[in-house]
Amino acid sequence: MALTLPQLSSEGWSLLDTSLIGLFLVLLLTYLTTHRSKSLPPGPTPIPIFGNLFQLSQQEEWLQFTQWGSIFGELVTFRVFNKPIILLNSSKAIVDLFEARSAIYSNRPHLVMANELMGWGETVVLMPYNERFKNYRKLLKVGLNTNVTREYWPLIEKEIGHSLVRLLDDPDTFTKNFRRTAGTIALKVAYGFKHESDEFKTIMDDTEKALRMFSIAALPGVFLVDTLPFLKYVPSWFPGAGFKRLGIKTQGLIRKMVDTPFDMVKKQVASGNAPKSFTETLLNASERSTDEDIKWVAAGLYAGQADTTVAALSNFFLSMMLFPDIQRRAQDEIDRVIGNNRLPRVEDRESLPYVYSVLKEVLRWRPVVPMVSHSVTQDDIYKGYIIPSGTALVANIWAALHDETIYKDPDVFDPERFLSPRNEPDSSKFAFGFGRRACPGEAVAHAALFCNVACTLATFDIKKPVDEYGVEIEPIMRWSSGVTSLPHAFKCDIKPRSPRAAQLIRTNSESDI
């Protein structure tokens, strides 16, 4: 009897064909991914379709990226689905590309969630590198040039004086106080608010909510819609479309953040009673830009400063609590140079080198923005690797600032590293971006941070709290993920250094210097 192959129905062949085609496509995708990756830097082995998605840490990703750097080198490629992302794990690679080649590395990855669904795409932070972005930068230079920035110093010093009073009266809510102080300074610089009205507080609250969403959404690969853009067309009522509802909610907050304070300043300018502010300067400029550009630039200035300042001050309080000897040395310098009859001012920076180094070390030890993403606008070659146009690159700022070939004992909090004779590289520039994406509000932010640090050291002692048995309570050394990284909530014992210090705080606030 002759042997014959079993006969399959047409439906059976159809199912088999479909399975074979699906398997072929998966294998082809894997082959193309592997083949194309040969020109990219090395990295962890991706799995078909998903790439390295399931290998990514959900907490403090920069530590995992640093570990990958120790295995694969200063340039590492990982994939979210089939989308390559290149990590830059050294300060040299970051500076070489984001600064020396800023003409082609100043773009941002297009993030559907943050740019389109949330509405952050009009801000200078996420806007692509185009003509409108260049105009934004020009406006920022007009409103924040060196002479104008110095005019904000009295405002900064006054608001920090009020902050010290709040810290004296309610030390347990120090983080809330940071947020209020940072938001107040940013709003007054951007819009010239004279007092904290209900409208003022509403703007601060709305912006804080929007910034929390931004911090999560502004990193490549966090939301699936960034990798599969067609998902943006899913109706908001559809099961699993919570990201769409989140986007709609955030858009409303951003629109109020952009429009409300700008409309207020425009009315004040028209009536001739607008106080000095960034927005007022631009509205009265001889070569005036459009209202839409001015309002988005001003909103970006405010949003960009508030959250990062809170993170930096939180890290400062944490470090002073952990390293009391450093705190005492900084206080000794203030006592010796400034005395106890007045508070330190912004202009005292150069006279207080150790205090200034404390701030620099805070920004290095725990960078408030541990990762920064750019994208390249044309094919490029770096160290023998081809970086295709449109590729997203993530600068691992944490790794760059903990490079033991540059910083001795990088995990140790040591302000002396910036002083003679060591003179290790000033790390503070890494806190404010690179090249054509560098933060234009750096001078204002740096002035506010220094004044806050110096005034706090001059008047308060920051210590670890103790429990009911007198045992010191150790903080949880963990930081949040996202664009801006905050330390895990911690408590500390904050008391005025002396009755004289408490009196100085009250007197200074009443005089409104």
Taking Cα atoms as reference points, which of 381, 383, 399, 400 lies closest to residue 391?
A: 381
DSSP character at residue 90? S
Contact in structure between 446 and 440 (CB atoms under 8 Å) = no
Q: Is 439 annotated as a binding residue?
A: yes
Residue pointed to by tokens 């920051």? 462
Strands 392-396 and 83-88: parallel
Contact in structure between 296 and 258 (CB atoms under 8 Å) = yes
C-alpha–C-alpha distance, residues 370 and 32, integer Å: 32
The DSSP secondary structure of 466-512, one letter per residue, reads B-TTSPBPPPP--B--SSS--BPP---EEEESSHHHHHHHHHHHHHT
C-alpha–C-alpha distance, residues 450 and 348, integer Å: 9
Could you tell me the CA-to-CA distances from 88 to 58, 437, 504 in Å, in that order?
19, 16, 47
Contact in structure between 96 and 395 (CB atoms under 8 Å) = no
Contact in structure between 64 and 481 (CB atoms under 8 Å) = no
DSSP character at residue 122? G
Helix (H/G/I), strand (E/B), else coil: 278: helix
φ, ψ at 66 (rounded to 5°)? -65, -40
Residues in the chain: 513
Residues at the binding site for heme are: 439
Task: Report the binding-site residues.
Answer: 439
